[in-house]
Amino acid sequence: MGATTPLAREYFPAAQRWAYLNHAGICPLPQPAVNAMHRRATEVSLDGEFTYAAHSAEIERVRTSAARLMGVPSTDIAFVKNTTTGLGMIANGLDWSAGDRVVVPDLEFPSTLYPWLALADRGVLVDRVRPEGPGGKLTVEAFIDRINDGPPPKLVVTSWVQFGRGWRVDLAALGRACDEAGALLCADVIQGLGVLPAELERWGVDFAMADGHKWLLGPEGSGVLYVRGARLDLLRPLEPGWNSVAHREDWDNLELVFDDTARRLEGGMPNVTGIAALGASIDLLLAAGIPAIWSHVDRLCDLACSGLSALGATVLSDRSTEGRSGIISVQVDGPPIPLLAKQLQSEGIAVSARAGGLRISPHGYNTDEDIDRLVDTVAKLTRG
């Protein structure tokens, strides 16, 4: 396809050397994000502290654009180091009693499961929801069965999109189910935010988090945490510091009066350089429009599924309308999948081996030619 892509391909230096189909892993940084980091680093190299006022203003601007992307008020966003930190702030910030239940899917990403298992010494019980079928598919009915299988859980936790096979959980329907059960809903959105339209507030999500380094096209170690305003007082701020209080920068006032926004969770100096880069990437996403990016990515995933199926591959991912995401996983006869992924990498095709399949995750600057290159190279590597 010579046609344009929703995200300008020329912004992605990686596209000159790769068919880069691994946004579920670590994304390549777009040039505007590199420029933003360079600008910030240069400014601070020249003027140190005297860049701070301008950069604080920039942080607030990025907070607003991140909130737009998530479909939430900007006062409900805190910047965090990464997804795991955001999950830990919920797990360790809530007030638990022995016997409290957490419902969480089986086959989750480690960071989405461990924070709740680590509460075992406080008597917290973790009940897992089994995905259905050979490829995995996670219906809201499966969550509801687990929710009703005991006293009402305090919290339901899930990835929006599962990292290995890419099944998507219907957060709006799950939000309704949690509301009915009186449970809080925490969604790890790192595998969806930046590629799928999000309306987290309207869907009834209470807590959500994502680092920049996947679909947001940002740098590593620069993430966002959403805490619904009405739930903020349920969380104990784990790192109270100068940046947590309403009167920040009034250095002689030592009263602990927490800010009434999610910023109270930030504590100390944020990663200003990372946030500047994340902001540049989010600007690209918002300018292209998430619906346009999603329909492009969805079409590329369909193209990859049909091309690879024609070679005899089995598509493992849930490709139903409500279950599909930007991640597809396929099983191919030939070399073992981890070896095939490595061979593809040496041919300039970036994919991963996960959950028994070849994981393919294109973004809004990938083209049909990238997918053709993948399919042709898989054909070559698996022939006879």
Ligand X SMILES: Cc1ncc(COP(=O)(O)O)c(C=O)c1O
> Where does this chain bind ligand X (CB under 6 A)?
82-84, 109, 111-112, 159, 163, 188, 190-191, 211, 223
Comparing CB distances to ligand X, the nearer of 84 and 377 is 84
Comparing CB distances to ligand X, the nearer of 181 and 200 is 200
Distances (CA, A) of 332 to 1, 166, 205, 337, 340: 26, 17, 37, 8, 9
Question: Closest by alpha carbon to 196, among 328, 66, 294?
Answer: 294
Answer yes or no: are the C-beta atoms of 226 and 237 closer than 8 Å: no
Comparing CB distances to ligand X, the nearer of 188 and 201 is 188
Q: Minimum distance between the CB of residue 22 and ligand X, rounded to whole angstroms?
A: 11
Comparing CB distances to ligand X, the nearer of 307 and 357 is 357
Comparing CB distances to ligand X, the nearer of 214 and 319 is 214
Comparing CB distances to ligand X, the nearer of 26 and 44 is 26
Rounded-to-integer distance, Cα 201 and Cα 209, Å: 13
Question: Closest by alpha carbon to 216, among 29, 41, 74?
Answer: 29
Q: Minimum distance between the CB of residue 380 and ligand X, rounded to whole angstroms?
A: 29
Q: Minimum distance between the CB of residue 166 and ligand X, rounded to whole angstroms?
A: 10
Comparing CB distances to ligand X, the nearer of 190 and 303 is 190
Q: Minimum distance between the CB of residue 225 and ligand X, rounded to whole angstroms?
A: 11
| DSSP H helices in 118-205 | 140-147, 171-181, 200-203
Comparing CB distances to ligand X, the nearer of 5 and 83 is 83
| DSSP H helices in the chain | 31-47, 52-70, 83-93, 110-117, 140-147, 171-181, 200-203, 272-288, 290-310, 337-346, 368-382
Handedness of CA 62, 66, 71, 73 (dihedral sign): negative
3-state secondary structure of 251: coil
Distances (CA, A) of 74 to 77, 266, 293: 5, 14, 23
Comparing CB distances to ligand X, the nearer of 361 and 367 is 361
Rounded-to-integer distance, Cα 364 and Cα 288, Å: 9
Token pair for residue 105? 């899917």
208 forms bridges with which residues in the sheet?
Answer: 187, 226
Answer yes or no: are the C-beta atoms of 85 and 211 closer than 8 Å: no
| Lookup result for tokens 């298992």 | 117
3-state secondary structure of 202: helix
Distances (CA, A) of 378 to 164, 226, 343: 20, 40, 9
Q: Minimum distance between the CB of residue 244 and ligand X, rounded to whole angstroms?
A: 22
Answer yes or no: are the C-beta atoms of 163 and 111 closer than 8 Å: no
Comparing CB distances to ligand X, the nearer of 27 and 340 is 27
